[in-house]
Amino acid sequence: MNTGKREIPYPARLDLARTPTPLEPLSRLSEKFGIDMHVKRDDLTGADLTGNKIRKLEFLLADGLANRCDTVITCGAAQSNHARATAIAAVRLGLGVRLLLRTRDPANPPPLAGNILLDRLVGAEIVWLTFEEYGRRVEMLAAEAESLRNSGKTPYVIPEGGSNAMGAWGYVRAVEELALDLTTLPGAKDHPTTIIHATGSGGTTAGLILGVKLLGLNARVVGINVCNDRDYFLRVVGDICQTAIDTYQLDLPFSRERDIEIVDGYVGSGYGKAGSKELSLIREVARSEGILLDPVYTGKAFYGMSQELERNPEVFGDRIVFIHTGGLFGLFPLAEQMAPLL
Ligand SMILES: *Cc1c(COP(=O)(O)O)cnc(C)c1O
- Ligand 1 neighbourhood includes 327 CB (under 6 angstroms): yes
Residue minimizing CA distance to atom 15 of ligand 1: 81
Q: What is the pLDDT of residues 47-100, one digit of tens each?
A: 999 999 999 999 999 999 999 999 999 999 999 999 999 999 999 999 999 999
**Measured distance CA(109)–CA(102) in Å, rounded:** 9
Instruction: Report the C-alpha dihedral over residues 299, 48, 18, 220, rounded to 10 degrees.
Output: 20
Q: What is the pLDDT of residues 149-158, one digit of tens each?
A: 999 999 999 9
- Sign of torsion, CA 181 184 188 191? negative
Q: How much distance in Å is there from the Cα of 204 to the middle of ligand 1?
A: 7
- Is residue 204 pLDDT above 70, yes or no? yes
- Ligand 1 neighbourhood includes 201 CB (under 6 angstroms): yes
Q: How much distance in Å is there from the Cα of 266 to the middle of ligand 1?
A: 15
pTM: 0.97
Q: What is the pLDDT of residues 233-269, one digit of tens each?
A: 999 999 999 999 999 999 999 999 999 999 999 999 9
- Is residue 1 pLDDT above 80, yes or no? no
Atom of ligand 1 nearest to the CA of 206: 7
Atom of ligand 1 nearest to the CA of 171: 7
pLDDT, mean of residues 198-216: 98
200 CA to centre of own chain:
7
Task: State the average pLDDT for the chain.
Answer: 96
Q: Are the C-beta atoms of 292 and 286 separated by less than 8 Å?
A: yes
Atom of ligand 1 nearest to the CA of 204: 7
* 59-72 burial code (b ≥16 CB/10 A, e <16): bbbbbbbeeebbbb
pLDDT, mean of residues 168-190: 95
Residue minimizing CA distance to atom 2 of ligand 1: 200
Q: How much distance in Å is there from the Cα of 95 to the middle of ligand 1?
A: 23
Q: What percent of the chain has pLDDT over 90?
A: 96
Q: Are the C-beta atoms of 328 and 110 separated by less than 8 Å?
A: no
- Is residue 4 pLDDT above 60, yes or no? no
- Ligand 1 neighbourhood includes 295 CB (under 6 angstroms): no
- Ligand 1 neighbourhood includes 325 CB (under 6 angstroms): yes
Atom of ligand 1 nearest to the CA of 294: 13
Q: What is the pLDDT of residues 118-149, one digit of tens each?
A: 999 999 999 999 999 999 999 999 999 999 99
- Is residue 281 pLDDT above 60, yes or no? yes
- Is residue 5 pLDDT above 90, yes or no? no
Atom of ligand 1 nearest to the CA of 202: 9
Query: DSSP letters along 88-100, please?
Result: HHHHHTT-EEEEE
- Ligand 1 neighbourhood includes 200 CB (under 6 angstroms): yes
Residue minimizing CA distance to atom 5 of ligand 1: 200
Q: How much distance in Å is there from the Cα of 205 to the middle of ligand 1?
A: 9
* More reliable by pLDDT, 7 or 324: 324
- Is residue 215 pLDDT above 60, yes or no? yes
Contacts (Cβ under 8 Å, ≥6 apart) of 46:
16, 17, 18, 54
- Is residue 12 pLDDT above 60, yes or no? yes
Choosing from 27, 80, 269, 280, the catalytic residue is 80
pLDDT tier for residue 6 given thresholds of 50, 70 and 90: low
One-letter amino acid of 274: A
Residue 105's Cβ-count burial label (10 Å; 0-12, 13-18, 19+) is: exposed
- Ligand 1 neighbourhood includes 204 CB (under 6 angstroms): yes
**Measured distance CA(305)–CA(320) in Å, rounded:** 10
Q: How much distance in Å is there from the Cα of 324 to the middle of ligand 1?
A: 10
- Is residue 186 pLDDT above 90, yes or no? no
Is 201 an annotated catalytic residue? no
Q: In what order do the strands lie in the sheet with 261-263?
A: 23-25, 36-40, 319-323, 193-199, 219-225, 261-263
Directed axis angle between helix 203-215 and helix 230-247, to 10°? 50
Which among 53, 208, 302 is the best mutation to test ligand 1's pocket, defined by most ligand atoms within 8 Å of the CB? 53
pLDDT tier for residue 188 given thresholds of 50, 70 and 90: confident
